A and B are shown apart, each in its own frame.
Chain A
Amino acid sequence: MREEIVLQHRMKRLSDAVQQLVFVGPALLFFCLIVLVPFLMSFYYSLTDWNGVTTRVVWTGLSNFKRILLEDSEFRNAFWFTARYTLAAVVFANAVGFTLALLLTQPLKTRNVLRTVFFLPNVIAGLLLGFIWSFIFVKGFAAIGEWTGIGFFKLPWLGTASTAFWGMVIVSVWQMAGYLMVIYIAAMMNMPRELIEAAKIDGAGRWKMLRSIIVPLVMPAFTVCLFLTLSWSFKVFDLNLSLTKGGPFGSTESVALNIYKEAFQNNRYGLGTAKSLIFFVVVATVTTLQVIYTKRKEVEV
Chain B
Amino acid sequence: MMEQTQRYNARLLAMEIAAVLLALLFLVPFYFVVINSLKSFGDLMRNAAGWPEAFRWDNYARVWEIMKFPRAFMNSLLITVLSNAGLVLISAMAAYRILRRPTVFNRVLFVLFIAAMVIPFQSIMIPLVKVASEVGLMDSRFGLIICYFGFGVSLNLFLYHGFMKSIPLEIEEAAVVDGCTPYGVFWRIVFPLLKPMTITILILNSLWIWNDFLLPLLVLHSADIRTIPLQTYSFFGQYTKQWDLALAGLVLGVAPMVAFFLLMQKHIIAGISAGAVKG
**Interface SS majority for chain B:** helix
Q: Give a binary string over A102-137; 1 marks a CB under 8 Å from any B CB, 0 the rest.
A: 011011111001111111111111111001110110
Q: Which residues of the partner chain B approach A109 to less than 8 Å between Cβ atoms?
A: 16
A6 within 8 A of B: no
Shortest Cβ distance from A144 into B: residue: B49
How far is the CB of B140 from the nearest CB of chain A, in Å? Answer: 14
Shortest Cβ distance from A115 into B: residue: B269
A98 within 8 A of B: no
Q: Which residues of the partner chain B approach A256 to less than 8 Å between Cβ atoms?
A: 120, 122
Instruction: Determine whether the beta carbon of A41 is less than 8 Å from that of B233.
Output: no
Instruction: Determine whether the beta carbon of A125 is less than 8 Å from that of B229.
Output: yes
In Å, the complex CA distance between A30 and B128 comes to 12
Instruction: Determine whether the beta carbon of A118 is less than 8 Å from that of B26.
Output: yes
Which of B124, B129, B265 interacts with A116 by CB under 8 Å?
A: B265
In Å, the complex CA distance between A35 and B36 comes to 43
Instruction: Determine whether the beta carbon of A139 is less than 8 Å from that of B243.
Output: yes
**Interface SS majority for chain A:** helix
Q: Which residues of the partner chain B approach A100 to less than 8 Å between Cβ atoms?
A: 19, 22
- Tell whether A186 pairs with B124 under 8 Å between CB atoms, given A117-B23, A283-B118: no
Instruction: Determine whether the beta carbon of A276 is less than 8 Å from that of B122.
Output: yes
How far is the CB of B34 from the nearest CB of chain A, in Å? Answer: 10
How far is the CB of B137 from the nearest CB of chain A, in Å? Answer: 9
A168 within 8 A of B: no
- Tell whether A283 pairs with B120 under 8 Å between CB atoms, given A140-B48, A242-B233: yes
How far is the CB of B216 from the nearest CB of chain A, in Å? Answer: 10
In Å, the complex CA distance between A288 and B185 comes to 38
Identify which of A15-23, A68-76, A156-164, A195-203 touches chain B. Answer: A15-23
- Tell whether A147 pairs with B273 under 8 Å between CB atoms, given A120-B261, A256-B122: no
Q: Which residues of the partner chain B approach A116 to less than 8 Å between Cβ atoms?
A: 262, 265
Shortest Cβ distance from A26 into B: residue: B90
Which of A30, A273, A276 interacts with B146 by CB under 8 Å?
A: A30
Instruction: Determine whether the beta carbon of A114 is less than 8 Å from that of B19.
Output: yes
Shortest Cβ distance from A133 into B: residue: B29
B236 within 8 A of A: yes
In Å, the complex CA distance between A132 and B27 comes to 12
In Å, the complex CA distance between A23 and B96 comes to 8
Instruction: Determine whether the beta carbon of A135 is less than 8 Å from that of B32.
Output: yes
Which of B16, B36, B150, B273 interacts with A183 by CB under 8 Å?
A: B273
Shortest Cβ distance from B46 into A: residue: A143
Q: Give a binary string over A224-251; 1 marks a CB under 8 Å from any B CB, 0 the rest.
A: 1101100100110110001000000000
A27 within 8 A of B: yes
Q: Which residues of the partner chain A approach B258 to less than 8 Å between Cβ atoms?
A: 120, 123-124
Instruction: Determine whether the beta carbon of B247 is less than 8 Å from that of A135.
Output: yes
B55 within 8 A of A: no
Instruction: Determine whether the beta carbon of A280 is less than 8 Å from that of B120.
Output: yes
Shortest Cβ distance from B129 into A: residue: A52
Instruction: Determine whether the beta carbon of A35 is less than 8 Å from that of B47.
Output: no
A33 within 8 A of B: yes
In Å, the complex CA distance between A277 and B29 comes to 37
Identify which of B59-67, B151-159, B172-180, B194-202 touches chain A. Answer: B151-159
In Å, the complex CA distance between A289 and B228 comes to 37
- Tell whether A279 pairs with B122 under 8 Å between CB atoms, given A106-B15, A136-B29, A260-B214: yes
**Footprint of A on B, CB under 8 Å?**
12, 15-16, 18-20, 22-23, 26-30, 32-33, 36, 44, 47-49, 89-91, 93-94, 96-98, 101, 106, 109, 112-113, 116, 118-131, 135, 146-147, 149-151, 153-154, 157, 182-183, 186, 207, 210-214, 218, 228-229, 232-233, 236, 243, 246-247, 250, 253-254, 257-258, 260-262, 265, 268-269, 272-273, 276-277, 279
